[in-house]
Structure 1
Amino acid sequence: MTQPTPDSTSQTWEPLVLTVAPNGARKTKRDHPALPITPAELAAEAEASLAAGAAMIHLHVRDAEDQHSLDPGRYREAIDAIRERVGNKIVIQMTTEAVGRYSPAEQMASVRAVEPEAVSLAVREFFSDPNLEKDAARFTHELAERGVMAQYIVYSEEDLQWFSSLRDTGKLPIQAQSLLFVLGRYTAGQRSEPSDLLPFLRANKPNYSWALCAFGPKEAACAAAAATLGGHARVGFENNLLLSDGTPAPNNAALIAQAVAIARAIGRPLASADTLRMAAKTVP
């Protein structure tokens, strides 16, 4: 399979950034035998997802017991394996997710040690403690100065308003590059609906760049909403194991392929890793 390339004839759409989230912090091979955990498995999944149309991989690593880890050495090992497999053809986004195991200080220390190209950060994890707000603000400005692509995760309309306030008051840099809207995080069974996007869109002022992720079998429908409404999408086993027809997805690349088919159907071109890097450089 060859990697889909952006359609140069389409002038009305911003290229769609598809991010694969292949494992997350909690799932194991008991949830799906094809869930990638080791560096070699993650590298193979990155290659397959790249070929299917992904521009970025959202990377989690595990410890010796397959538990969520922010260990810099394990991150470097996984990143090196992916780079050896696909070079710079995919953006590697490190997660800082705490999962109840890591403090903001530990999260920041891990990112500084790894020095990733891209990173995701939950607003409520980094800014919930007023005593640590100055440290968190210093850290986010440091990321901007180093050119790290930062994606800020928001779980609700209130989180999005919080993000705007932090940016307006200078606690987040003006270069804060994008948002991730998490749909259905606090709904029963964590099953997202495309309509879950609406409160975020109402609160998204002044129209920050955004992507979404969604839980459950309507992940593809939510990705379709994002593609149609000018956003971007993150799909993969972290949040959903099913194809849109309700059958188990054979791998993460199949979920990326579904989103690619949606983009093709509406005429929206796909972003490559280089497209994403260039867009990040043009953020004011």
Structure 2
Amino acid sequence: MSIETGLKSVAIAVAPNGGRKTKVDHPNLPLTASELAETAVRCVDAGAAMIHVHVRKKDGGHLLDAEAYREVMSAIRSRVGDDIVVQITSEALGLYTPTAQIAVVKKTCPEAVSLALRELVPDASFEAAFAELLAWMSRERVLPQIILYDPSEAVLLSSMQKRGLIPWHTIPVLFVLGRYTAGQTSQPTDLLPFLANDVPRFEHWSVCAFGRHEAACVATGALFGGNVRVGFENNTWLPDGTTASGNEDLVFAAAQTVRSVNYKLENGSDLRKRLTELVG
């Protein structure tokens, strides 16, 4: 809720590249530091408050590397300053162990990072290392976001919080809709299991979706009280069924939806303040 206006506020994050797609999938997929910085400029202008970035190897393959992350973060900051929250991914894509993922996060020390619970805590033996990472992030003021693919993961995260393994009173999460469904095309109804009465609630949650119904999915998320993430990582289709020319088109479409229901659109400073208040 926006304190200034009393309106519901929504933050839009953009995930412009991911770890799998190439320019064969879309010629305007940003892969280099300069391309990601230019994307950040356009997406800020379109209404984005956060950018979720992946970095790549020279051959285009997925990479977790502190030096590459620092290059991208510096390039984005040189173009937009603090107008957007820069979040790196710790996603493994089957290539990195939880230990390696944690090491890269610590070496990079970013403003924000997303952490897939199922990757970093594949079983109970990894809980202690995950808790130590979160404690380090709390000390270093790195903004967290826990990625949840299934409501059962929300239950696990809540359990860890009750057992004192989460250093904050609440933790931001991202509900990923339809990642493991047939055809990987998300539907708005995929959000409902995350909002069921027997599933733990999180004060700050966002939603992202795969495929041509992305706009409908994130609109549903916003109307149910969440924040949204769009971008070429998961989708290149506009709501009218045409292909977006750039990530900024998807951000602009989401921003139009937010404004059309008289919700306040958060900027980077708004989101940074809200997240810092939650986990500061």
Pairwise TM-score range, normalised by the shorter structure: over 0.9
Among 52, 55, 59, the residue aligned to 1:58 = 52
Mapped pair 1:258 → 2:253: yes
Does the 8 Å CA contact 1:150/1:176 hold for their aligned counterparts? no
CA shift for structure 1 position 208: 3.0
Mapped pair 1:118 → 2:112: yes
Match of 1:279 in 2: 274
Among 232, 242, 248, the residue aligned to 1:247 = 242
Aligned mates of 1:260, 1:153 — CA distance in 2: 23
Superposition pairs of residues 68-147 of structure 1, within 5 angstroms: 68-147=62-141
Match of 2:35 in 1: 41
Aligned mates of 1:176, 1:72 — CA distance in 2: 27
Does the 8 Å CA contact 2:171/2:202 hold for their aligned counterparts? no
Among 208, 215, 225, the residue aligned to 1:230 = 225
Q: Deviation string for 1:177-202 (max 9, x for gaps)? A: 31100001111111011111000011
CA shift for structure 1 position 173: 2.1
- Quick one: structure 1 residues 267 and 111, their matched pair in 2 at CA, closer, same or farther if it must change by over 3 Å? same
Q: Which consecutive residues of structure 1, in runs of 5 or more, have no partner in the other structure?
A: 1-5
CA shift for structure 1 position 160: 0.9
CA shift for structure 1 position 133: 2.1
Q: What TM-score does the superposition give when structure 2 sets the normalisation length?
A: 0.95
Does the 8 Å CA contact 2:17/2:29 hold for their aligned counterparts? yes
SS of residue matched to 1:189: helix
Match of 1:270 in 2: 265
Superposition pairs of residues 189-228 of structure 1, within 5 angstroms: 189-202=183-196, 203-228=198-223
Does the 8 Å CA contact 2:7/2:262 hold for their aligned counterparts? no
Aligned mates of 2:199, 2:39 — CA distance in 1: 33
RMSD, aligned CA: 1.6
- Matched letter for residue 119 of structure 1: V
Aligned mates of 2:199, 2:37 — CA distance in 1: 35
The total of aligned residue pairs comes to 278
Identity over aligned pairs, percent:
45
Q: Deviation string for 1:4-56 (max 9, x for gaps)? A: xx99874131x211000000010000000000001010000010000000000
CA shift for structure 1 position 206: 3.6
Mapped pair 1:27 → 2:27: no
Match of 1:3 in 2: none
- Quick one: structure 1 residues 141 and 7, their matched pair in 2 at CA, closer, same or farther if it must change by over 3 Å? closer
- Matched letter for residue 249 of structure 2: A
- Quick one: structure 1 residues 175 and 274, their matched pair in 2 at CA, closer, same or farther if it must change by over 3 Å? farther
Moved more, 179-188 or 270-279: 270-279
Does the 8 Å CA contact 1:10/1:268 hold for their aligned counterparts? no
Aligned mates of 1:207, 1:143 — CA distance in 2: 19
CA shift for structure 1 position 132: 2.7
- Matched letter for residue 147 of structure 1: R
- Matched letter for residue 278 of structure 2: V
Q: Deviation string for 1:56-77 (max 9, x for gaps)? A: 0001000111111011111111
SS of residue matched to 1:211: strand
Does the 8 Å CA contact 2:195/2:201 hold for their aligned counterparts? no
SS of residue matched to 1:282: helix
SS of residue matched to 2:179: coil
